[in-house]
Amino acid sequence: MTSPPAGSVSIGSSVGMFEHVGRPQFETFFRSCANMLADDGVMLLHTIGRIGTPGTTDAFTRKYIFPGGYIPALSETVAASEKYRLIASDVEMLRLHYARTLRAWYANCEANRERIEVMFDARFYRMWIFYLAGATAAFENGGMCNYQIQYCRDRRALPLTRGYIGEGEEALRGR
């Protein structure tokens, strides 16, 4: 897969991927984003994040679930992006939303246990049920959340307020 030509992307997004690149690759990730983004371009980064200061990924998740991944603190994410003149023009913290998703995945895994064990094995099933239960607890009561960070290269690329978001949603819904 090749990257788009430099400066050719006017609107971009990264959803659920950044936490898998690993801390050593943060600058490479943002350099690539900055290179692809047009001068008046805008992008959205949606990532799992750590509430508070930087930390470490627990050993179980690092070994069995997401090898090489890392849950970044907001401070690390913004610091890595600033080096490439990506302006964090809006930040939203989704506090409890992902816990609902994890609960649904847990229920689906339980409901499909036999199928999962046939496709993989009982150990695989147990690891994922354990991970989903722990992740749910971390998103409901611990230090995990989702961040949505809107980046732009030019502060004039976006309206002054968030009103355009609601207007865009209404247009998509046909209101």
Each residue's pLDDT, cut to its tens digit, for the chain (175 residues) gives 567 777 788 999 999 999 999 999 999 999 999 999 999 999 999 999 999 999 999 899 999 999 999 999 999 999 999 999 999 999 999 989 999 999 999 999 999 999 999 999 999 999 999 999 999 999 999 999 999 999 999 999 998 888 888 888 888 888 7
What is the pLDDT, as a whole number, of residue 151? 97
What is the pLDDT, as a whole number, of residue 10? 92
The two tokens of residue 13 are 């997004």
What is the pLDDT, as a whole number, of residue 2? 67
What is the pLDDT, as a whole number, of residue 13? 95
What is the pLDDT, as a whole number, of residue 37? 94
- Whether the CB-CB separation of 9 and 37 falls below 8 Å is answered with yes
Assigned CATH for 11-163: 3.40.50.150
What is the pLDDT, as a whole number, of residue 4? 72
Dist. CA 167–CA 161, nearest whole Å: 11
pTM for the model stands at 0.89
What is the pLDDT, as a whole number, of residue 1? 57
